[in-house]
Amino acid sequence: MRICFVGGGNMATALIGGMLAKGFTPGDIAVVEPRAEGRDRLAADFAVRTHAALDAAALACDVLVLAVKPQQMRAALAPARGRLVDQVVVSIAAGLRLADIGRWLDGYPRLVRCMPNTPALIGAGTTGLFAAPAVSAEARAGVERILAAVGSTVWIDDEARMDAVTAISGSGPAYVFHFIEALEAAGAQLGFDADTAHALAVGTVLGAAQLAAQSHDTPATLRERVTSKGGTTAAALASLAADDFVAIVGRAVAAAEQRGKALGDALGADEGEKI
Ligand SMILES: NC(=O)c1ccc[n+]([C@@H]2O[C@H](COP(=O)([O-])OP(=O)(O)OC[C@H]3O[C@@H](n4cnc5c(N)ncnc54)[C@H](OP(=O)(O)O)[C@@H]3O)[C@@H](O)[C@H]2O)c1
């Protein structure tokens, strides 16, 4: 499987690093990156082929991974218009819909949309994927191998649900970082220095997430197991419940999903149609 990345920034770098660690061959990977310094870095770090433009040599691939910013996508795709044959085109751009990418490619149908999240940068990502009907099962499996190189993957069968994926796992790391910040701030209020509060907060979130991932029990059961009647955890959870913690998170996720829909409209609008 020959893979060409369009855009050699943070996400392409994370994906290529993960792919090579999982046994992909550098000779099968190419990157289109306009900045010479970016091309030099990619070639030096990974021994992959680099191209300054999406030309015929770059398009000679099986999978084209679109790793530019959503706002850069339309211009980045222009050189590929009318020149795609049977490549699978995979967008990792947040918010952009396949209908818009397909329109910018003159109706090209073999499209996959992915929503990775930032833990992909350390190989611990969670990626939601959606494939258009024209993508074969074999092609889907190839795309899944690429994204699985930086974490876990979940296929979604309705593209409209990608805004919900974005709201849960795409934006989700920020909710967790915010929770860590809150725990650190609470630690500081209880008299810990910043380093100690950070170590206690991050270690707890990391350990609890690993326990939730490895345990056969549900998070609810794990929570109940740390909660003795009348104990310290029960006091904290009662305070969270009184402040409507679950509803607060639900409203935050709903706000993210709504924003995702609006951004999808704006990003996919052609010139003069932006909302
Ligand atoms: N970072 C994340 O954790 C994350 C998570 C989920 C999804 N995503 C998505 O992943 C995509 C890439 O994000 P990123 O953080 O990797 O962005 P990035 O670091 O800015 O990388 C994009 C790269 O594409 C290059 N580029 C610009 N125009 C191009 C063109 N016409 N042809 C080829 N390359 C071009 C940019 O060069 P210049 O710097 O010169 O413009 C830059 O090196 C985005 O669409 C984002 O929504 C990212």
Residue 99 sits in a domain whose CATH number is 3.40.50.720
Please indicate, yes or no, whether residues 45 and 84 belong to a single structural domain of this protein.
Answer: yes
- Total structural domains within the chain: 2
Using the CB atoms, write b or e for 118-145: b if 16+ within 10 Å.
bbbbeeebbbbbbbbeebeeebeebbbb
Decide if 61 contacts 2 (C-beta within 8 A).
yes
The pLDDT of residue 154? 97
* pLDDT level of residue 275 (50, 70, 90 thresholds): very low
Taking only the tens place, the pLDDT of each residue in 60-109 is 999 999 999 999 999 999 999 999 999 999 999 988 999 999 999 999 99
Measured between alpha carbons, how far is 214 from 196 in angstroms, rounded to an integer?
A: 27
Residue 73 CA, closest ligand 1 atom number: 31
Pairing of the two strands 88-91 and 63-66: parallel
The pLDDT of residue 271? 60
The pLDDT of residue 268? 85
- Could you tell me if residue 165 is inside a domain? no
Residue 13 CA, closest ligand 1 atom number: 16
Residue nearest (by alpha carbon) to ligand 1 atom 3: 118
- Given 108, 130, 157, the domain boundary residue is 157
Give the distance (Å) from ligand 1 centre to CA of residue 68.
Answer: 3
Please indicate, yes or no, whether residues 62 and 104 belong to a single structural domain of this protein.
Answer: yes
The pLDDT of residue 274? 44
Residue 202: how many other CB atoms lie within 10 Å: 14
Domain of 119 in residue numbering reads as 3-157
Give the distance (Å) from ligand 1 centre to CA of residue 83.
Answer: 22
Residue nearest (by alpha carbon) to ligand 1 atom 9: 93
- Could you tell me if residue 272 is inside a domain? no
Mean pLDDT over residues 249-269, rounded? 93
Residue 221: how many other CB atoms lie within 10 Å: 10
Please indicate, yes or no, whether residues 141 and 210 belong to a single structural domain of this protein.
Answer: no
Give the distance (Å) from ligand 1 centre to CA of residue 272.
Answer: 24
Please indicate, yes or no, whether residues 96 and 138 belong to a single structural domain of this protein.
Answer: yes
Decide if 219 contacts 212 (C-beta within 8 A).
yes
- Could you tell me if residue 274 is inside a domain? no
- 7 CB under 6 A from ligand 1? yes
Please indicate, yes or no, whether residues 133 and 13 belong to a single structural domain of this protein.
Answer: yes
- Given 128, 157, 186, the domain boundary residue is 157
- H-only helix segments in the chain: 10-21, 36-46, 56-59, 73-77, 98-104, 137-148, 162-165, 172-189, 194-214, 219-226, 232-242, 245-268
* Local structure of 111: helix, strand or coil: strand
Please indicate, yes or no, whether residues 194 and 94 belong to a single structural domain of this protein.
Answer: no
End-to-end CA distance of the chain: 39
Please indicate, yes or no, whether residues 24 and 108 belong to a single structural domain of this protein.
Answer: yes
Q: How many Å separate Cα 81 from the centre of its chain?
A: 26
Give the distance (Å) from ligand 1 centre to CA of residue 33.
Answer: 10
- Could you tell me if residue 118 is inside a domain? yes
Give the distance (Å) from ligand 1 centre to CA of residue 14.
Answer: 12
Please indicate, yes or no, whether residues 133 and 185 belong to a single structural domain of this protein.
Answer: no
Please indicate, yes or no, whether residues 149 and 15 belong to a single structural domain of this protein.
Answer: yes
Counting residues of the chain whose pLDDT is more than 90, the rounded percentage is 94
Residue 69 CA, closest ligand 1 atom number: 45
Please indicate, yes or no, whether residues 149 and 193 belong to a single structural domain of this protein.
Answer: no
Please indicate, yes or no, whether residues 30 and 148 belong to a single structural domain of this protein.
Answer: yes
Taking only the tens place, the pLDDT of each residue in 200-232 is 999 999 999 999 999 999 999 999 999 999 999
Please indicate, yes or no, whether residues 123 and 231 belong to a single structural domain of this protein.
Answer: no
Give the distance (Å) from ligand 1 centre to CA of residue 40.
Answer: 17
Closest CA to 146 of 199, 203, 67, 202: 67
For ligand 1, mutation pick of 6, 42, 59, 72 (most atoms within 8 Å of CB): 72
The pLDDT of residue 133? 96
* CATH code at position 199: 1.10.3730.10
Taking only the tens place, the pLDDT of each residue in 25-56 is 999 999 999 999 999 999 999 999 999 999 99
Decide if 65 contacts 81 (C-beta within 8 A).
no
For ligand 1, mutation pick of 39, 54, 68, 73 (most atoms within 8 Å of CB): 68
